[in-house]
Structure 1
Amino acid sequence: MTSATKDELLAGAVRLRTEGRPEEARERLLTLTAEFPEDAEIAYQTAWAHDVLGLEAEAVPYYERALSAGKLGDEDRLGALIGLGSTYRVLGRYGQAVEVLRRGVAEFPADGALRTFLAMALYNTGEHHEAMELLLRVVATTSEDPSVRRYRTAVEHYASGLDETV
C-alpha cells in the first residue's frame, strides 16, 4: 500500500467520523491500525473514534501509542493529550489523568481546554484549591462576558489567594 493510499484511507475514515458515522470510521481505522501499528496519526484517530462511541477503555492504548510514537503534529498531539487525560479521568484513573494533563499544560501552557480538563482531574484527586485557581485563571483570560472582563485583574489576583483575608 502506498503512502498516498494510506493517507487517503485515513482521511476517509476521519470524514466518516466527522459526518456522524463513527462506527464505520472505527472499523476502517482498526483495519488501518492493524496494517500500520506504529503510525501515530492512525493510532490517534483510532482512539478518537473509540472515544466518540463511548468506548473509553478501548481508546486508551491507541492514545498511548499515538503519544509514545512522538510523530504527531502539534494540533494532533494537543488533541491526544486532552483525549488521553480526559479518558483516564472518565475511567476513574485520576492520578494518570493529572499526570498526562500536567504534561500537556507544560507543552501547551496557553491552551484553556487543557487547563480546564486538568482542573477537573485535580478536583477528582482532592486538589480543590489548585483546580479552582486554574479555572478562575481560564475564566479571567478567556471570558467574553463584559462584567467578567471588567474584573479580570481582581479575579486573576484572587485566584491564587482564595483563602487569604485582610
Structure 2
Amino acid sequence: MNTESGPDEALEQAVRLRERRTSQACEELVALAARHPGHAGIAYQTAWAHDALGLEAGAVPYYERAVDGTGLAPEDRHGAFLGLGSTLRVLGRYAGARAVLERGLAEFPDDAALRTFLAMVLYNLGEARESVGLLLKVVAATGADPGLRAYAPAVVHYADRLDEVE
C-alpha cells in the first residue's frame, strides 16, 4: 500500500479498500484515515467499511469525522448522515441518532430515507404518534400506488391529526 499518496489518490484508494469488504481492508482504511485525519471522504469510507462488516461501534467516530468535516460531495454527505444516524439507532443511542438525522434533514429536508430513519428513532423514543405521522408523510410523498396517490393530500393532512375526530 502506498503511504505517500495525496488526498485524491488516498480517497480513490479508500473507495477501493471499502469495496473489498474485508477486515484487512478495514484495517488498511483505519491506517489511511490516521494518515489523513482531516479528510472527510476517507473518514466516510472508513465508517462505511466498518458498517459493512457489522462493526457499528467502530464506525461511529469515522462517521462523526465525516459529518463534521468539509469537502464531501452532497451524495456522500447525505450517506454519512444516514449512516451515522442509523448506526447510532442500532446501538441504542436514540437521542444522538435523532440529533444527527435532524441535522441531516436540515441539509436534505425532503429526503425520504432520512425521514424514515428518523421515524424509527421516534418510535424507539416512545413517540409513536410522531413516528407514524412522519411515515405517513413519506409514504404520501413517495408512494407509487395510484390509489394512494389519489388520497395523498388527505394522508398528509391527517398525518398530524391522527387522534382528532370530527
Judge same fold: TM > 0.5, yes or no.
Answer: yes
- Cα deviations by residue, 1:67-91 (Å, 9 ceiling, x for unpaired): 1122222111111111111111100
Partner of 2:61: 61
Cα distance in structure 1, aligned partners of 2:85 and 2:19: 24
1:5-154 alignment, distance < 5 Å: 5-16=9-20, 21-154=21-154
Change (3 A) 1:7 1:80: closer
Question: What RMSD in Å do the two structures reach over aligned CA positions?
Answer: 1.4
Matched pairs, number: 162
Runs of 4+ more than 3 Å apart = none
Cα distance in structure 2, aligned partners of 1:68 and 1:137: 29
- Cα deviations by residue, 1:97-151 (Å, 9 ceiling, x for unpaired): 1111111111101110000000000111111111111100000010111221121
Cα distance in structure 2, aligned partners of 1:65 and 1:93: 18
Cα distance in structure 2, aligned partners of 1:158 and 1:57: 38
Change (3 A) 1:152 1:5: closer
- Shift of residue 8, structure 1, vs aligned partner: 3.5
User: With structure 1 as the length reference, what TM-score do the two structures score?
Assistant: 0.91
Cα distance in structure 2, aligned partners of 1:46 and 1:30: 6
Segment of structure 1 superposing worse, 67-76 or 111-120: 67-76
Structure 1 gaps, min length 5:
none
